[in-house]
Amino acid sequence: GAVVSQHPSWVICKSGTSVKIECRSLDFQATTMFWYRQFPKQSLMLMATSNEGSKATYEQGVEKDKFLINHASLTLSTLTVTSAHPEDSSFYICSARATGEAISPLHFGNGTRLTVT
């Protein structure tokens, strides 16, 4: 089955530093990847849609200069949280849909738990 690998699984960083999270589709190509954030006991919140070879589309209220997304290949998207603050502490989850399959289940990475101290 389709596998999405997300790394790291967890990270602790100091306030003001930047953190990069990688999302890879291991056995399929993904033109589009999605980045979600989930706070405790809340549902998934879509942050941005990452498109290979073009700029990401950010949801309303998500700062594109703070959450940098790069989708340089059909199997890799990265999310960089710049100048992280404690309020950025959350569970970040990426997902991907196989290229050419608009109506298909999203395959999720295992998530990254970010703690900013």
Which spans of this chain sit near another protein (rule: CB under 8 A)?
A: 6, 42-44, 46, 91, 93, 102-103, 105-111, 113
Nearest distance from C-beta of residue 99 to another protein, angstroms: 13
- DSSP helix/strand/coil, 98: coil
Closer to another protein by CB, 46 or 74: give it: 46
- Per the CB < 8 A criterion, the answer to whether 114 and 82 are in contact is no
Tokens 């700029």 -> residue: 55
Closer to another protein by CB, 13 or 106: give it: 106
Torsion of Cα atoms, 60 then 92 then 94 then 7, to 10° = 140
- CA–CA distance, 77 with 67 (Å, rounded to integer): 12
Nearest distance from C-beta of residue 26 to another protein, angstroms: 15
Closer to another protein by CB, 65 or 100: give it: 100
Nearest distance from C-beta of residue 110 to another protein, angstroms: 5
